[in-house]
């Protein structure tokens, strides 16, 4: 594990003016000192941080706020073994003094025994049976999730659809978890529901816009940046920055955005981006606005990926999905009749299926799908929110997973607002271009209007047992109320009417400020086990950082969570 000295630019765009942002070079220079101060503070304040003898802390991210606070995100090992659910963020002031901690495990991470009864081969065999695939080698870990700590094996299992991470108890042989590594846009439960009702997803393709195609720029040397045009399926003709590899030859790769590229999987289920085929052409025009041209879907994907990168960079100063100035990648035409799209952390890329030809007629390359899925990549690079458990059909449950889905919807809708494409009107609806009978897949203002997934508006103790896409409504609703407020409102021609659990009236603070608060909460104050009550605390801390603890923004955060029935008073007791 290595230290990632990213010096995130934070969320000062909507906050008070508190001085100049530190440069990335300055942040990198100071990273070692910040990490060592945070590590020392974690052990000095062991009663609060939960670290103990045998623990080692490995820095994953260093964040330096404009107002001077520092935050170091750590992964933990115990006795040399990775600790699942052992992550924590140590918070420091501008003088590197300890100010607090956000920790995933609220208990000791030392297992009762460090002597495994199962061999690694036995654990791998159990994992292969559970996930129905080929198991890799088994690694001893400490599983500190869900209120306990146990010695376990972690195994990656691969099948033709991707990989699962399986955790097997090293003493009892029980499968403790079996989690898909990819974040699918459409859950198995939703797919089954659509097929049961005979409903199809068949998005209407956009017509080519009449403006003239952009010509390629003259270049003295190759490769060089060029100005191309994507003739997309869903958003008409769009400008794309491409690479001119030689005179009259182009590649769908953006040198101005870290080399971000979309490739053709050509029906393979590979999780290696290098195995995809580069899109090349003798003209700098990609696609024809229809599925008859393989590059049409690629143009949508490349446009969505680059707009998502631009949103994160211009809004938060985030340089790439993992904030490491590396390319974002996508592969279209992935697999044979795959009815989904997903973020795959194995290849750190977006994978888009073409649809199964029956329930799903076209590739899922619409803009908010890409913004949603790439945000899963941002979550993977920060809080690593995980589902609490997964059923035998692959449906995921639990509040941290639901919060992950919600953040993907929140920032996915923000990508739409940022792109402001007239052929994909910015809104607080998710999947509104998919052609569904209810006109959207999910919506943030009144989540329970989604009958396909049974999305919920408000928190209750049963939310723990709710499928993650359905449960996402709790925090998505809180975000909408924070941004736009309760009651009726029309934005860009779309009518909204947001209710509240306590029949209160919430006056929104605006989308920019609400988004700033949620992003800072994700990157600074959320960890792998953050639930909705933890998210309330995280967003309150973020609002306090940006606007002050006595500000209207802070008070509105509290009101928005109360309006979805998440309060300090009804915080559940820790699970054991």
- Residue 550's pLDDT is 98
φ/ψ of residue 413, rounded to 5: -70, -35
* CA distance readout (Å), 146 to 174, 468, 575: 15, 17, 7
- For residues 307 and 424, what is the distance between their CA atoms, to the nearest angstrom? 13
Q: Considering the domain boundaries, does residue 550 fall inside one?
A: yes
Q: Which of 78, 91, 372, 469 is catalytic?
A: 469
The answer on 534 and 493 residing in a single domain is: yes
Among 411, 544, 519, 525, CA closest to 472: 411
Q: Considering the domain boundaries, does residue 187 fall inside one?
A: no
Q: Considering the domain boundaries, does residue 270 fall inside one?
A: yes
Tokens of 248: 């009259």
Q: Considering the domain boundaries, does residue 238 fall inside one?
A: yes
Q: Are strands 280-281 and 249-251 parallel, antiparallel or unpaired?
A: antiparallel
Residues paired with residue 58 on neighbouring β-strands, in sequence order: 75
The answer on 373 and 481 residing in a single domain is: yes
The answer on 125 and 88 residing in a single domain is: no
Q: Mean pLDDT across the stretch 117-138? A: 96
Percent of the chain with pLDDT over 70: 92
Q: Mean pLDDT across the stretch 166-175? A: 97
- Residue 159's pLDDT is 84
200-248 tens-digit pLDDT:
877 777 654 444 334 444 445 889 999 999 999 999 999 999 999 999 9
pLDDT grade, residue 2 (50/70/90)?
very low
- Beta strands of 202-323 (E only): which ranges? 224-231, 237-246, 249-251, 253-254, 260-264, 277-278, 280-281, 285-286
184 as an active site residue: the answer is no
- Residue 206's pLDDT is 65
Tokens of 62: 């260093």
> Cβ(368)–Cβ(415) under 8 Å?
yes
Q: Considering the domain boundaries, does residue 535 fall inside one?
A: yes
- Residue 107's pLDDT is 86
The answer on 554 and 411 residing in a single domain is: yes
pLDDT grade, residue 9 (50/70/90)?
very low
How many Cα atoms within 13 Å fall on the side-chain side of residue 510? 8
The answer on 529 and 405 residing in a single domain is: yes
The answer on 208 and 169 residing in a single domain is: no
298-339 tens-digit pLDDT:
999 999 999 999 999 999 999 999 999 999 999 999 999 998
- Residue 67's pLDDT is 84
Q: Mean pLDDT across the stretch 117-146? A: 95
Q: Which of 184, 261, 271, 373 is catalytic?
A: 373
358-416 tens-digit pLDDT:
888 889 999 999 999 999 999 999 999 999 999 988 899 999 999 999 999 999 999 99
- Residue 182's pLDDT is 85
328-361 tens-digit pLDDT:
999 999 999 998 999 998 888 999 999 888 888 8
Q: Considering the domain boundaries, does residue 478 fall inside one?
A: yes
Whether 530 has a pLDDT exceeding 60, the answer reads yes
- For residues 448 and 458, what is the distance between their CA atoms, to the nearest angstrom? 9
The answer on 432 and 378 residing in a single domain is: yes
36 as an active site residue: the answer is no
Tokens of 362: 């076209």
How does DSSP classify residue 564? T
- 3-state secondary structure (DSSP) of residue 466: coil
CATH number at residue 45: 3.10.450.490
- 77-80 contacts: CB < 8 A, separation 24 or more? 78/54, 78/109, 78/110, 78/111, 78/142, 79/54, 79/114, 79/142, 80/56
> Cβ(430)–Cβ(368) under 8 Å?
yes
CB-neighbour burial class of residue 94 (10 A; exposed 0-12, middle 13-18, buried 19+): exposed
Q: Domain of 486?
A: 366-566
512-522 tens-digit pLDDT:
999 999 999 99
246-259 tens-digit pLDDT:
999 999 999 999 99
Q: Considering the domain boundaries, does residue 527 fall inside one?
A: yes
Which of 103, 133, 154 is the C-terminal boundary of a domain?
103
Provide the domain count of the chain.
4
How many Cα atoms within 13 Å fall on the side-chain side of residue 35? 22
Q: Considering the domain boundaries, does residue 464 fall inside one?
A: yes
Q: Is the peptide bond before 413 cis (omega within 30 degrees of 0)?
A: no
- Residue 220's pLDDT is 57
Residues ≥6 apart with Cβ < 8 Å to 371: 304, 307, 308, 311, 411, 412, 413, 414, 415, 416
The answer on 138 and 86 residing in a single domain is: no
pLDDT grade, residue 6 (50/70/90)?
very low
Whether 14 has a pLDDT exceeding 50, the answer reads no
> Cβ(557)–Cβ(517) under 8 Å?
yes
The answer on 336 and 454 residing in a single domain is: no
The answer on 371 and 272 residing in a single domain is: no
- For residues 113 and 105, what is the distance between their CA atoms, to the nearest angstrom? 18
- For residues 40 and 34, what is the distance between their CA atoms, to the nearest angstrom? 10
Among 325, 334, 424, CA closest to 371: 424
Which of 363, 385, 411 is the C-terminal boundary of a domain?
363
CATH number at residue 514: 1.10.390.10
Residue 40 Ramachandran class (φ > 0 left, ψ -120 to 50 alpha, else beta): alpha
Q: Name the least confident of 34-38, 261-265, 430-434.
A: 430-434
Tokens of 485: 């407020």
Whether 3 has a pLDDT exceeding 60, the answer reads no
* CA distance readout (Å), 542 to 128, 265, 400, 434: 42, 41, 18, 34
Q: Are strands 329-332 and 260-264 parallel, antiparallel or unpaired?
A: parallel
Whether 429 has a pLDDT exceeding 90, the answer reads yes
The answer on 136 and 91 residing in a single domain is: no
Q: Mean pLDDT across the stretch 504-510? A: 98
Q: Mean pLDDT across the stretch 543-555? A: 97
Residues ≥6 apart with Cβ < 8 Å to 82: 75, 76, 139, 141, 142, 154
The answer on 126 and 271 residing in a single domain is: no
Q: Are strands 249-251 and 237-246 parallel, antiparallel or unpaired?
A: antiparallel
CATH number at residue 219: 3.10.170.10
Q: Return the sign of the alpha-carbon dihedral for residues 180, 77, 61, 534.
A: positive
């Amino acid at each position: 594990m290595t230290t990632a000295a990213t010096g995130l630019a934070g969320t000062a765009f909507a906050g008070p003016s508190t001085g100049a942002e530190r440069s990335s070079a300055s942040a990198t220079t100071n990273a070692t000192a910040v990490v060592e101060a945070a590590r020392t503070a974690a052990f000095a304040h062991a009663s609060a941080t939960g670290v103990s003898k045998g623990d080692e802390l490995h820095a994953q991210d260093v964040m330096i706020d404009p107002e001077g606070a520092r935050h170091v995100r750590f992964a933990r090992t115990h006795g040399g073994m990775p600790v699942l659910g052992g992550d924590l963020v140590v918070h420091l002031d501008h003088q590197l003094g300890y100010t607090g901690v956000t920790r995933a495990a609220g208990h000791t991470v030392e297992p009762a025994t460090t002597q495994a009864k199962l061999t690694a081969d036995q654990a791998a065999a159990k994992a292969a049976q559970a996930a129905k695939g080929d198991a890799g080698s088994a690694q001893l870990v400490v599983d500190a999730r869900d209120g306990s700590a146990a010695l376990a094996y972690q195994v990656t299992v691969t099948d033709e659809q991707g990989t699962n991470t399986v955790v097997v108890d090293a003493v009892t042989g029980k499968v403790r978890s079996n989690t898909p590594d990819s974040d699918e846009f459409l859950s198995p439960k939703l797919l089954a529901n659509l097929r049961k009702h005979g409903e199809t997803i068949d998005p209407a393709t956009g017509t080519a816009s009449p403006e003239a195609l952009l010509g390629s720029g003259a270049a003295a040397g190759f490769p060089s940046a060029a100005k191309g045009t994507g003739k997309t399926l869903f958003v008409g003709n769009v400008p794309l920055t491409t690479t001119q590899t030689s005179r009259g030859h182009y590649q769908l790769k953006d040198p101005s955005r870290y080399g971000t590229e979309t490739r053709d999987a050509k029906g393979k289920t590979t999780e290696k981006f290098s195995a995809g085929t580069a899109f090349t052409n003798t003209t700098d025009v990609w696609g024809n606005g229809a599925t008859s041209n393989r590059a049409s879907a690629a143009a949508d994907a490349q446009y969505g990926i680059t707009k998502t990168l631009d949103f994160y960079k211009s809004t938060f100063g985030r340089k790439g999905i993992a904030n490491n100035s590396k390319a974002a990648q996508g592969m279209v035409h992935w697999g044979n009749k795959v009815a989904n799209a997903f973020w795959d952390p194995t290849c750190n890329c977006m994978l888009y299926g073409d649809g199964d030809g029956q329930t799903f007629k076209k590739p899922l390359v619409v803009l908010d799908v890409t913004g949603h899925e790439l945000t899963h990549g941002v979550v993977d690079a920060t809080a690593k929110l995980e589902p609490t458990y997964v059923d035998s059909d692959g449906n995921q449950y639990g509040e941290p997973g639901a919060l992950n889905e919600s953040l993907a919807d929140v920032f996915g809708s923000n990508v739409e607002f940022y792109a402001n494409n007239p052929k994909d009107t910015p809104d607080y609806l998710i999947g509104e271009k998919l052609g569904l009978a209810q006109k959207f897949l999910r919506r943030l203002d009144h989540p329970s209007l989604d009958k396909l997934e049974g999305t919920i508006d408000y928190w209750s103790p049963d939310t723990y047992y709710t499928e993650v896409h359905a449960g996402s409504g709790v925090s998505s609703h809180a975000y909408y109320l924070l941004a736009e407020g309760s009651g009726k409102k029309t934005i860009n021609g779309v009518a909204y009417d947001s209710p509240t659990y306590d029949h209160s009236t919430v006056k929104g603070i605006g989308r920019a400020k609400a988004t700033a608060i949620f992003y800072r909460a994700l990157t600074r104050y959320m960890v792998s086990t953050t639930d909705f009550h933890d998210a309330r605390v995280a967003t309150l801390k973020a609002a306090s950082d940006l606007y002050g603890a006595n500000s209207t923004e802070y008070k509105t955060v509290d009101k928005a969570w109360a309006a979805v029935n998440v309060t300090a008073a009804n915080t559940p007791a820790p699970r054991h």
